Structure 1
Amino acid sequence: MTIAIQRTTFSRLTCLTVAGPLWAAVSLAQAATRDGFDLIRHPLSALSNGSLGWLQITNFLVAGVLTIVGATGLRQATSSRWAPRLVLVNGIGMIAAGIFSMDPADGFPTGTPAGIPETMSWHSYGHMAAGSIAFFSLIAACYVLARHFARNGNRRDAALSTIAGTALLLGDGWAMTGGPAGSLTLAVGAITAMLWVAIVASRLR
């Protein structure tokens, strides 16, 4: 690998290293400060609503672009064929989730009636589809990385990859079935998986 290619790969992997922590930090900062937001009841995607909704929309878009760029670096830095592709799909899903925002619901933003709306807008359906694509591709990427590490004899990272993917799988499944505090378990699972991918990218640099 030439020096120029090494530098390009380093830069692209840096994008992937930053994407997850940036999205998590911006989302959690808003969750802690936005009036009326309760992570027990409201998914982080709900932050795309209200007068400050542009912050979360931008957060999705920026993190998505960084993830897409980072996926190309992952392709150059690892022998895994599918992990970079799945991370790429995850980035596309994040961008789509930013473009299609979910509907206000359950008291957020402040002034929104309690409970879930009886009908959903087209862009809310779009957000759900984009979120599903982003989550499932991220789960799959974690499991593919686990297999990749296991083949290379790295049992520790194989186990951590499996844990990260399973955390998101269980968190998303619990939220989709309407389990108590489902938005919280989904947030924990998503951030865990995103941070693990960021750690993998950081090591590959």
Structure 2
Amino acid sequence: MRGTPSGTRTGTRRLLACGLLAPLFVVVILVEGALRPDYASAHRFGSELALGERGWVQIANFVVTGMLVLAFSAGVRRTLAGGRAGVVAPVLGVIFGLCLIVGGVFVTDPKPGYPAGSTGVSEPSLAGTIHDANPIPFYLSLIALVVVMAWRFAKDGGPRPLVWYCVASAVLIPVTFALSAGQFDMATQSGQFHGLWQRVNLALSLGWIGVVAGYLLVAERQGAADRSGAAADQGEARIPRS
């Protein structure tokens, strides 16, 4: 990013910093789940918090987090300018962010037992059908993004722990999703501990966004400092000697 105006660099840092806030999605789910006496977090999906009179909190959580991821993706595009990863990674990030927004706009259908007294629905609504199908592009885009970033970090000689962290995340994210899905019976729309595994999965997923955002932010600032130092050295070299 040689010669990049300072205002553009500041904008890039702000976009990347949005990724640092993405893990707050999980914090909101944990707090909301704890505040609702009729909601058993370990046995309920986080999206069920979008139901009931306080449902707007989880809806906003989906939408705001999706917007944060979209902003982070724009920062990634600026930071990884050039190469295949510089094109593919932001696109995958945008898909992931849009899926979060879709999860909030299209609310899940009530499940047996929640909201309190609910017996579920005999036929899924259009919104519920879209919501239930949303995890497919959600996780495919996220896992692909993790893989692409692992490849880019390895190619650029990034920190080995970061590369291996990405590799581990690419494995653990689908594994914990499978554990959560496996605990839920689609026929009865109920299950045991699927909510617990989903929270572990979301912590891994959005935690990865936060870690990568932090690394790219530090790397961008270090790069700007190195460029400023190099420019100062060149300026000193041009000072005529008496």
TM-score (norm 1): 0.91
Among candidates 112, 125, 140, match of residue 118 of structure 2: 112
Q: Which residue of 1 aligns with 2:216?
A: 204
Among candidates 11, 18, 25, match of residue 14 of structure 2: 11
TM superposition outliers: structure 1 runs of 4+ over 3 Å: 177-180
Q: Give the share of equivalent positions with the same residue, in percent.
A: 27
Q: Which residue of 1 aligns with 2:153?
A: 149
Q: How many residues align?
A: 202
Q: Which residue of 2 aligns with 1:166?
A: 171
Q: In the alignment, residue 72 of structure 1 is paired with which amino acid?
A: A
Residue pairs, 1:58-137, within 5 angstroms = 58-79=60-81, 80-81=85-86, 82-113=88-119, 117-137=121-141
Q: Is the aligned partner of 1:57 residue 2:63?
A: no
Comparing 137-146 with 4-13, which one deviates more in the overlay?
137-146
How much has 1:117 moved relative to structure 2?
4.2
Q: In the alignment, residue 170 of structure 1 is paired with which amino acid?
A: V
Q: Is the 8 A contact 1:168 1:193 kept in 2?
A: yes
How much has 1:135 moved relative to structure 2?
2.2
Deviations 1:154-177 (A, max 9, x none): 321111112223222012222333
Q: In the alignment, residue 138 of structure 2 is paired with which amino acid?
A: A
How much has 1:60 moved relative to structure 2?
0.5
Q: Is the aligned partner of 1:190 residue 2:202?
A: yes
Q: In the alignment, residue 96 of structure 1 is paired with which amino acid?
A: V
How much has 1:13 moved relative to structure 2?
0.7
In structure 2, what is the Cα distance between the partners aligned to 1:77 and 1:143?
Answer: 17
Deviations 1:168-203 (A, max 9, x none): 201222233346522321221122121111111122
TM-score (norm 2): 0.78
In structure 1, what is the Cα distance between the partners aligned to 2:66 and 2:193?
Answer: 26
How much has 1:121 moved relative to structure 2?
1.3
Q: Is the 8 A contact 1:16 1:70 kept in 2?
A: yes
CA RMSD, Structure 1 to Structure 2 (Å): 1.7
In structure 2, what is the Cα distance between the partners aligned to 1:126 and 1:75?
Answer: 29
Q: Mark the structure with the bigger radius of gyration.
A: 2
Q: Is the 8 A contact 1:102 1:127 kept in 2?
A: yes
Q: Gaps spanning 5+ residues in structure 1: where?
A: none
Distance 1:132 1:34, change over 3 A: farther
Q: Gaps spanning 5+ residues in structure 2: where?
A: 185-191, 218-242
Q: Is the 8 A contact 1:139 1:168 kept in 2?
A: yes
In structure 1, what is the Cα distance between the partners aligned to 2:193 and 2:141?
Answer: 23
